[in-house]
Amino acid sequence: EAQVTQNPRYLITVTGKKLTVTCSQNMNHEYMSWYRQDPGLGLRQIYYSMNVEVTDKGDVPEGYKVSRKEKRNFPLILESPSPNQTSLYFCASSPLPSGRSYNEQFFGPGTRLTVL
């Protein structure tokens, strides 16, 4: 089954304790992206990647890191989490758009993170 998986689905942690949220897709997509969703603020892009070893900042990259060492994986790293990073996080992937084309993004199920 074609899908985007995220782990963990739920996480409660404490301020300053490094954590990684994994994202994996089995559709051979070049493009992957991380979003956070907060009430009243909609979806905001954190980082995105056009291909292996190519990453770029979205609108809210502060406090986050990503890496893209393999095509299928795009982990989100919080080196020193803070309470304002409590949010619902989504990973998404799509084929790499060419020119003015658009390819729908496929979203993972989400990771609900609470930082105390």
Partner 1 sequence: GQSLEQPSEVTAVEGAIVQINCTYQTSGFYGLSWYQQHDGGAPTFLSYNGLDGLEETGRFSSFLSRSDSYGYLLLQELQMKDSASYFCAVTFGGNNRKLIWGLGTSLAVNP
Using CB under 8 A as the binding rule, whether residue 107 contacts partner 1 is answered as: yes
Segment contacting partner 1 (CB under 8 A): 15-23, 60-68, 76-84, 99-107? 99-107
Compute how many residues bind partner 1; rule: CB under 8 A: 27
Instruction: Name the amino acid, one letter, at 75.
Output: P
The residue among 56 and 79 lying less far from partner 1, judged by its C-beta, is 56
For 110, left (φ over 0), alpha (ψ -120 to 50), or beta? left
The residue among 63 and 95 lying less far from partner 1, judged by its C-beta, is 95
Q: Which of 36, 64, 90, 115 binds partner 1 (CB under 8 A)?
A: 90
Using CB under 8 A as the binding rule, whether residue 75 contacts partner 1 is answered as: no
Could you give the CA distance from residue 53 to residue 113 in angstroms, rounded to a whole number?
26
Using CB under 8 A as the binding rule, whether residue 45 contacts partner 1 is answered as: yes
Asked if residue 23 lies in contact with residue 109, where contact means CB atoms within 8 angstroms, the answer is: no
Asked if residue 81 lies in contact with residue 13, where contact means CB atoms within 8 angstroms, the answer is: yes
